Amino acid sequence: QRLVGRELSEYRLIVVSNRQPYAFRMENGNLVGEMPPGGLTAAIDPLMRACGGTWIAQSNGDSDHLAMDADGRIAVPLDSPAYRLRLMDLTEAENDGYYYGFSNQGLWPLCHVAYTEPIFDTQDYEAYKSVNRKFANLVVDEIGDGPAIVLIQDYHLALLPRYIRQVCEDVIIGQFWHIPWPNTDILRICPWQEEILDGMLGHDLLGFHLSSDCDKFLDAVARNLNAQVDSQFGLVDYQDEMTLVRPFPISIDFDSLDAEARTAEVESEMARLSQEFGLDTGRILGLGIDRQDYTKGIPHRLRAVERFLEKWPEYQGKLVFLQAGATSRTNINSYMQLTIDIESIVNRINERFGDGDWQPIAYWPTSFPSATFSALRRLASFCAESSLHDGMNLVAKEYVASRVDEDGVLILSAFAGAAQELSSSIIINPYASEQFADAIHQALTMSDDERRLRMRHMRSIVQQNNIYNWAGRIMMNLMQASTPDHARLPA
């Protein structure tokens, strides 16, 4: 009932995430802010640009040269300020336990079916709790005495809503969980599952990508806590507080990616890259873009390309498959091992098939300016996203948004949330190499009409369910979740 008697505009918007939306660095004597790889910042930054407010995040330690107000807030984006960024320093030990430990070696593998064993270490969990408390202190300070809406992002901050709620009554709190939610039998692996569930029920609204994630969360609550669960409405009544649980499939800023793909800068990048890959001499480009993570199925994708070249040798000397995207979480063993595995598969395939100036696999394990990614998406005859499990996969949606020519084929894993909306892609099982190789062949031999029809359909879906539509639905549900009428909300 926190909204009663107040207008939405009276509330201050505070977004909280682990990752800061811009990494800052000096370039030719000028400060520049560059977006880190990953879906979260790409999705939330346009929202903050449109709404204003404060974004609280862990500091990268790169903000020393930036102008700040008395409370340490930085106006961003640097070239056209629209909202404020408030950064929080963590010690190395805090970050090791909270980020590398509990978040990314515990919760991350717990929530993704990718057969990497979660590690649950008591010290890591203690660090996770204490960092969530630290974030809560900063959020409470930012709320001040005004009414506020706090929108928390992701699995790093599952306990934060409870900690804020213990101090502030008059605040509306929602969270979007950017990764899948595990089924109840898997969740049991986490020794602190009840505390995590209790923490998340500090919310007025809890959002997941898919309704199946919501169902699994509600099932876990019903089985583990003394709570009343209405699965039909997605409503939990726990300790006299209500939490609404709803699906909000996240998206991208379609119009801005569409517009970028038409710029002269992208056209000139296309000309340069076309020459680099020999596309002007009849070669074909296939593309995979990912933050380097073991959930993305990169080795599976490369093996499918290998099988494709074996099965259809007429494409030897012709197809170049580019695997691009920055490495990530490189302090964690499973991520180091992934890089080693990818390099060895790339070398094996290139040694096996490479000939003269033709290497079948190009491997660029780094980040690039967005105009370069945009040009690559426009040039690639197909884009393959082969996640073993993925909350959404925004790269798939970005490929579609960049295809202003309505050409190109998307090959997409059935295990990515995006497959539910992008049913006009070629849906594959990334574990089934033969089927995956056949999908590449289907993409390269598809008729012009069919390609166009499929791409047009996917573009209209992403254009409609864009990031602003997503944010609008979250805000509307947040408002209604905090009124006495929330049980009558449409799903």
Contact set with ligand F6P (CB under 6 A): 19, 38-41, 154, 178-179, 291, 328-329, 391
Output the smallest distance, CB 154 to ligand F6P, in A. 5
Closest by CA position to 257, among listed 381, 391, 400 = 400
Output the smallest distance, CB 257 to ligand F6P, in A. 17
Nearest CB to ligand F6P, comparing residues 393 and 433? 393
390 within 8 A of 295, measured Cβ to Cβ: yes
Output the smallest distance, CB 153 to ligand F6P, in A. 7
Token couple for 279:
């596309």
Token couple for 237:
């009544």
Output the smallest distance, CB 199 to ligand F6P, in A. 18
Q: How far apart are CA 245 and CA 211, in angstroms?
A: 9
Nearest CB to ligand F6P, comparing residues 41 and 386? 41
Nearest CB to ligand F6P, comparing residues 124 and 306? 124
Closest by CA position to 16, among listed 33, 40, 36 = 40
HSE (CB half, 13 Å, CA atoms) of 371? 12
Nearest CB to ligand F6P, comparing residues 332 and 411? 332
Nearest CB to ligand F6P, comparing residues 85 and 284? 85
Output the smallest distance, CB 332 to ligand F6P, in A. 10
Element (H, E) at 443: helix 433-445
Nearest CB to ligand F6P, comparing residues 106 and 391? 391
3-state secondary structure of 82: coil
Output the smallest distance, CB 207 to ligand F6P, in A. 13
Nearest CB to ligand F6P, comparing residues 101 and 408? 101
Element (H, E) at 70: none
Q: How far apart are CA 374 and CA 257, in angstroms?
A: 8
Token couple for 453:
């029809």
What Rg value do the Cα atoms of the chain yield, rounded?
23
138 within 8 A of 56, measured Cβ to Cβ: yes
Q: In the structure, how many helices (H) and strands (E) does the chain have?
A: 17, 18
Q: Residue 205: what residue type?
A: L
Closest by CA position to 396, among listed 379, 372, 413 = 413
Output the smallest distance, CB 178 to ligand F6P, in A. 4
Output the smallest distance, CB 291 to ligand F6P, in A. 6
Nearest CB to ligand F6P, comparing residues 182 and 317? 182
Nearest CB to ligand F6P, comparing residues 41 and 105? 41
3-state secondary structure of 428: strand
Output the smallest distance, CB 426 to ligand F6P, in A. 23
CB atoms within 10 A of CB 10: 11
Token couple for 314:
């007429």
Output the smallest distance, CB 20 to ligand F6P, in A. 9
Q: How far apart are CA 211 and CA 228, in angstroms?
A: 19
Q: How far apart are CA 3 and CA 1, in angstroms?
A: 6
Q: Which residues contact 307 (CB under 8 A, 6 or more apart)?
A: 433, 434, 436, 437
Nearest CB to ligand F6P, comparing residues 178 and 454? 178
CA end-to-end span of the chain: 19
Closest by CA position to 196, among listed 206, 116, 481 = 206
Output the smallest distance, CB 359 to ligand F6P, in A. 29
Nearest CB to ligand F6P, comparing residues 45 and 258? 45
Q: Residue 317: what residue type?
A: G
2 within 8 A of 482, measured Cβ to Cβ: yes
Nearest CB to ligand F6P, comparing residues 154 and 269? 154
Q: How far apart are CA 394 and CA 281, in angstroms?
A: 31
Output the smallest distance, CB 333 to ligand F6P, in A. 15
Position closest to ligand F6P via CB: 38
Q: How far apart are CA 428 and CA 414, in angstroms?
A: 6
